[in-house]
C-alpha cells in the first residue's frame, strides 16, 4: 500500500509526497496515485487559489483521507469544474468518485449555480464521515447504475438536495444528517437504495420520491421539515415495512404532512412512529408481528453525545460488538485481554502469520469461554502471551498493547518515529512500541480524546476506545 501526503500550506508539488515533504495539491497526489494508495490531507483549504484543478477525480481503489473524527472540519475542498456526464450532459462538479474510491473526513463545497459537491456515476465508491455544505444544487448526485456506500456524512445548506439519486442507482444511504436544504434526500427514476438510520430535519421535505423510485426506508428520523416528511409522487413505491420487518421510521412535526402520498397507489406502513392525522393520501397502517428494532447505536441509553458513539455504531451495525442486557454499552468501562481477543477474532479473518503463537496458553483452559477467540487472534498475530507461558485473559488491556496488537496483526510497516513529536507524553511510549505507534499514527489508527496530542499509552483502554481503534483498522485495511 502506497501513502502520499498533501499540505496546501507547507507542501510543494515538486516534493516527494512524504510525511516530511508533502505535495501542495490533491491534484498532484491523484496524478501519482494507483489503486491501493491512501492520500492523507492536512488541515487547510484546497481550492483554485492553492492550485487545485477541478473537478478532482478520485481514481478506482484510491482513498482520500482527512479527519473522520471531526467530519473534515478545517480540511476544506472548495471548487467547481465542468464534467460531461454520460447520463446528464454538462455539469459543474467538485469531485468525481470512481469505483472503489473512498472519500473520508473532508469538507466539500461547490457554491456555483447548479454546482454539485460529489458526483457518482455507475460506480461503487465509499463516501464516509464528510461534511458537504453550501453547494449550488446538491451535495451528492448519484446516477447510472451506481451502488455507493454513503455513510455518516453531514449535509447542510445545499440549495436543492442533500443527496439526489436517479436512473437505476442503488447502494446504501446510512446514518447521514441532512438538514437546512431543499430535499434532504431525493430519489427519482428507478433508483432503489437502502435508506436507513438517517436524520432528516429542517428541510423543505425530508425525503422526496418521484417517477418509479423504490427505496427501502428503515429507522430514519424525519422531523420539522416544512413541506412534508416523506413526499411520494409519480408511481413511486417506498418500502415502509412489513409485518415481519417493521420499518422503525420516526415522523414528527413535519409541515403539511408526515407522509404525503400523491400517487394513485396505496402505501403500506408497518412499525413506523406516525400520527394518522398527519397522513395525506392512501396509506394503510398495519401492525408488526415482531418487535420494531431500535435506531442504530441510539439503542444504548448511556451513549447520548459520547465522542465514541459513531465508532460504536459502525461496529454494532457490523455485529462486531454488542451492549449489555440493561440497554447500556458502558463506553468508559475497561476491557480485558480475553474480551479484546473476542472482538479481534470476530472482526478479522486472516491467515496464520509465520512465527505467530499457536494460541495455546497454560492459563486458558479448553472450556474457557474465549479459548477459540484467543487461539484465532494469536495465530493471526494480533496477540501473544507472556514469557511464562500465560495469557492472563482477565487482565485489563492497555492502550499501548492495543495499538501494537493491531499494527502487528495487520502487518503494517513504515512508521517514521519523527511523527511521535506530536504527542506531549511521548516519553511514556515504551521503546519496543515506538515503531508500532509511529505506524499507527501515520495510518490514522490513533484516536485520542479529549486531548488529541496525549497518547496515554500505559492507561487501561476503554470499550469506546477499542471500538474507535477497530473501526480505524477496518478503514486502514479497506474494509470500511
- Rounded to 5 degrees, what are φ and ψ at 239? -85, 105
Cα separation values, 199 from 60, 210, 220, 307, Å:
30, 20, 6, 18
Q: CA 377, CA 357: separation in Å to the nearest integer?
A: 9
Q: In whole angstroms, what separates CA 100 from the centre of its chain? A: 15
Q: Residue 139 is inside which H or E element, if any?
A: strand 138-143
Burial degree of 418 (CB within 10 A; 0-12, 13-18, 19+): exposed
Q: Give the neighbor-by-neighbor strand order of the sheet with 154-156.
A: 44-46, 75-78, 107-109, 131-133, 154-156, 177-179, 199-201, 221-223, 250-252
What is the reported pLDDT for 226? 97
- Spatial contact of 38 and 6, defined as CB atoms under 8 Å apart: no
What is the reported pLDDT for 295? 57
Burial readout 181-203 (b: 16 or more C-beta within 10 A, e: otherwise)? bbbbbbbbbebbbebbbbbbbeb
**Cell numbers found for residue 103:** 472519500
- Rounded to 5 degrees, what are φ and ψ at 369? -60, -30
Q: What structural domains does the chain harbor?
A: 3-286 (2.160.20.10), 296-476 (no CATH)
Q: CA 138, CA 166: separation in Å to the nearest integer?
A: 13
Rounded average pLDDT per 10-residue block, the chain, 480 residues: 91 95 98 93 97 98 88 96 96 97 96 98 94 98 96 95 98 93 98 94 98 96 96 98 90 95 97 92 88 62 85 85 80 91 90 68 88 91 87 90 93 87 90 92 89 89 94 85
- Spatial contact of 97 and 123, defined as CB atoms under 8 Å apart: yes
Strand, coil or helix: 207: strand
Contacts of 386 (CB under 8 A, 6+ apart): 392
Place of cell 455504531: 313
Q: What does the DSSP assignment read for 52-67?
A: --SSEEE-TT-EEE--
Q: What does the DSSP assignment read for 256-312?
A: S-SEEE-SSSPEEEES-B--GGGEESSEEEEPPSSPPPP-GGGGSTTTTT-TTHHHH
Q: CA 433, CA 435: separation in Å to the nearest integer?
A: 6
Burial readout 150-174 (b: 16 or more C-beta within 10 A, e: otherwise)? bbbbbbbebbbbbbbbbbbbbbbbb
What is the reported pLDDT for 297? 46
Burial readout 68-78 (b: 16 or more C-beta within 10 A, e: otherwise)? bbebbeebbbb
* The model's pTM: 0.69
Amino acid at each position: 500500500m502506497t501513502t502520499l501526503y498533501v499540505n496546501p500550506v507547507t507542501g510543494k508539488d515538486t516534493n516527494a509526497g512524504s510525511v516530511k515533504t508533502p505535495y501542495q495539491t490533491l491534484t498532484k497526489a491523484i496524478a501519482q496515485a494507483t489503486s491501493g494508495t491512501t492520500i492523507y490531507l492536512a488541515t487547510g483549504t484546497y481550492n483554485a487559489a492553492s492550485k487545485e484543478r477541478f473537478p478532482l477525480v478520485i481514481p478506482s481503489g484510491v482513498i482520500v483521507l482527512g479527519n473522520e473524527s471531526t467530519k473534515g472540519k478545517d480540511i476544506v475542498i472548495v471548487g467547481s469544474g465542468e464534467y460531461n456526464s454520460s447520463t446528464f450532459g454538462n455539469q459543474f462538479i467538485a469531485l468525481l468518485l470512481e469505483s472503489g474510491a473512498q472519500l473520508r473526513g473532508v469538507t466539500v463545497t461547490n457554491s456555483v449555480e447548479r454546482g454539485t459537491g460529489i458526483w457518482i456515476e455507475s460506480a461503487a465508491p465509499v463516501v464516509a464521515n464528510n461534511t458537504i455544505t453550501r453547494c449550488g444544487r446538491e451535495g451528492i448526485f448519484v446516477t447510472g447504475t451506481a451502488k455507493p456506500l454513503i455513510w455518516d456524512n453531514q449535509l447542510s445548506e445545499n440549495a436543492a438536495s442533500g443527496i439526489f439519486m436517479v436512473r437505476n442507482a442503488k447502494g446504501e444511504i446510512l446514518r447521514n444528517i441532512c438538514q437546512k436544504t431543499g430535499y434532504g434526500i431525493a430519489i427519482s427514476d428507478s433508483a432503489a437504495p437502502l435508506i436507513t438510520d438517517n436524520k432528516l430535519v429542517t428541510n423543505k421535505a425530508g425525503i422526496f420520491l418521484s417517477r418509479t423510485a423504490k427505496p427501502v426506508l428503515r429507522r430514519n428520523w424525519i422531523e420539522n421539515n416544512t413541506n412534508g416528511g416523506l413526499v411520494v409522487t409519480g408511481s413511486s413505491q417506498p418500502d415502509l415495512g412489513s409485518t415481519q420487518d417493521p420499518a422503525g421510521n420516526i415522523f414528527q412535526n413535519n409541515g403539511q404532512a408526515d407522509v404525503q402520498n400523491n400517487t394513485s397507489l396505496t402505501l403500506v406502513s408497518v412499525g413506523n412512529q406516525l400520527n394518522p392525522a398527519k397522513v395525506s393520501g392512501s396509506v394503510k397502517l398495519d401492525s408488526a408481528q415482531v418487535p420494531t428494532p431500535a435506531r442504530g447505536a441510539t439503542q444504548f441509553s448511556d451513549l447520548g453525545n459520547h465522542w465514541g458513539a459513531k465508532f460504536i455504531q459502525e461496529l454494532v451495525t457490523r455485529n462486531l460488538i454488542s451492549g449489555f442486557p440493561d440497554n447500556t454499552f458502558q463506553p468508559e468501562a475497561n476491557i480485558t485481554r480475553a474480551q479484546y481477543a473476542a472482538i479481534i477474532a470476530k472482526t478479522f479473518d486472516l491467515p496464520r502469520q509465520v512465527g505467530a503463537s499457536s494460541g495455546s496458553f497454560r492459563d486458558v483452559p479448553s472450556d474457557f469461554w474465549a479459548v477459540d477467540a484467543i487461539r484465532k487472534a494469536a495465530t493471526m498475530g494480533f496477540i501473544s502471551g507472556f514469557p511464562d507461558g500465560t495469557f492472563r485473559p482477565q487482565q485489563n488491556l492497555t492502550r499501548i498493547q492495543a495499538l501494537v496488537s493491531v499494527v502487528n496483526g495487520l502487518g503494517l510497516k513504515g512508521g517514521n518515529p519523527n511523527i511521535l513529536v506530536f504527542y506531549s507524553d511521548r516519553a511514556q511510549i515504551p521503546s519496543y512500541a515506538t515503531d508500532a505507534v509511529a505506524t499507527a499514527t501515520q495510518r490514522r489508527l490513533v484516536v485520542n480524546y479529549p486531548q488529541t496530542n496525549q497518547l496515554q499509552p500505559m492507561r487501561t483502554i476503554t470499550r469506546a476506545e477499542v471500538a474507535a481503534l477497530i473501526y480505524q483498522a477496518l478503514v486502514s485495511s479497506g474494509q470500511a
